Amino acid sequence: METERRHAVRRWVTRVIPLLLLTESLAGLVGGLVFQHGQWTAIGVVFFGLLAACLVTIKTQRAVTGKGFDYSRWSFVAATGLAAYVNSAWILWACGVPLAIGTVQDGRMGENYWLGPVAIVYAVLTFLVYAVVRRGRAGRGGGVNRKSLG
């Protein structure tokens, strides 16, 4: 009975939190575009990065059944959130959308064109490390749900 209740709560949380983050992200973006206010857009970009990290957390949670802290998983989650934030901020800046981010306000966003691709490469590298660690645990027969490895 307790296990069923715990699974029901987990299902509810994994559906509600991404919807809340998506709503906040869209509200910030729409508010920033309608009112031409950069703080709204910046909030939307931050929530978009959090949404990406939340979705990766939910997706990778199914693969982990062990009790230890998985550094490779959380590095991948953080790198994905960072890559989503940096690239969405740069794309919106390039489209001329007002953003209240320090780099944009200081006029240095054009100099940091390299940050988006580097963040994506870092996210890919952390995913590869996570995949290798996950496969290694599967080979030893513990800590990984084999159904989610595909």
Q: At what angle do helices 38-61 and 2-35 cross, to 10 degrees?
A: 160
Please tell me the total count of domains within the chain. 1
Parent domain of 12: 2-139
Percentage of residues of the chain with pLDDT beyond 90: 32
Residue with more model confidence, 139 or 22: 22
Per-residue pLDDT at 63: 62
Question: Is residue 52 one of the residues assigned to a domain?
Answer: yes
Question: Is residue 150 one of the residues assigned to a domain?
Answer: no
Question: Is residue 146 one of the residues assigned to a domain?
Answer: no
Question: Is residue 147 one of the residues assigned to a domain?
Answer: no
Angle at 77 between CA 137 and CA 67, to 5 degrees: 40
| Rounded average pLDDT over 47-69 | 81
- Backbone dihedral angles phi then psi of residue 2, each to the nearest 5 degrees: -65, -40
Q: Evaluate if residue 129 carries a pLDDT over 50.
A: yes
Per-residue pLDDT at 149: 45
Summary mean pLDDT of the chain: 84
Question: Is residue 149 one of the residues assigned to a domain?
Answer: no
Question: Is residue 80 one of the residues assigned to a domain?
Answer: yes
> For 103-107, which contacts have Cβ atoms below 8 Å and span 24 or more sequence positions?
104/38
Question: Is residue 145 one of the residues assigned to a domain?
Answer: no
Question: Is residue 144 one of the residues assigned to a domain?
Answer: no
